[in-house]
Homo-oligomer: A and B are copies of this chain.
């Protein structure tokens, strides 16, 4: 369904990705693990079009999507929770959740561009509640939220628009125990609905709980691509730290 073929990325003289290949099937959850600086986030940003690859291509349902604008890729059904969240701090929770997807009022089929704020607000509240997130109000400025609350907003944003693929870059880093459970639960639900998930996480217990396959990246190359059932926590750790 989603195929990453020989992706390379250089920032000036620095080679960050040196030919990365892997696929994700529909309804599959693939965990992408690797040391800090291995290139995980960079790779994911190439998929969503935020970075331009120096080489290689990304294929979604047979269509090459490398070089397309992030907005279009999002329209094609790839959502991502960015590691730094990419929230608009001055704006409220509702605005952030619906950013780029604002429901607008139509008059005679013509898009007026006027935001249906009441609807957006309702939906935003629903999503936040569904995540079990402790966000005091969807009218609050996101910059005033706590770290975990901000992360919940970013998660809600990625899941509001029934995507085909969800990329999660450390979605639970700032979350409390119960919220983490919710997210893991959610990932399982997504899989059940045929949605693919790429999960980047340093929490291997979580990875083992939800992932079908584990891809390990080291210094910009895939060094292992194993079924969850056929590997062990120790093996994965050794892939990450490069112990063999």
Contacts and interface: CB of A to CB of B under 8 A. Distances in A.
A146 B176 contact: no
A27 interface: no
B177 A134 contact: no
A147 B149 CA distance: 18
The count of identical subunits is 2
Interface in A156-210: 169-170, 173-180, 202-204
A152 B42 CA distance: 18
Ordered nearest first, which 5 A-B pairs have the shortest CB separation? Answer: A36-B148, A173-B173, A37-B134, A83-B147, A37-B146
20 contacts: A35-B134, A35-B148, A36-B134, A36-B148, A36-B151, A36-B152, A36-B174, A36-B179, A37-B134, A37-B135, A37-B148, A40-B146, A42-B146, A173-B173, A173-B174, A176-B240, A177-B204, A177-B237, A177-B241, A178-B237
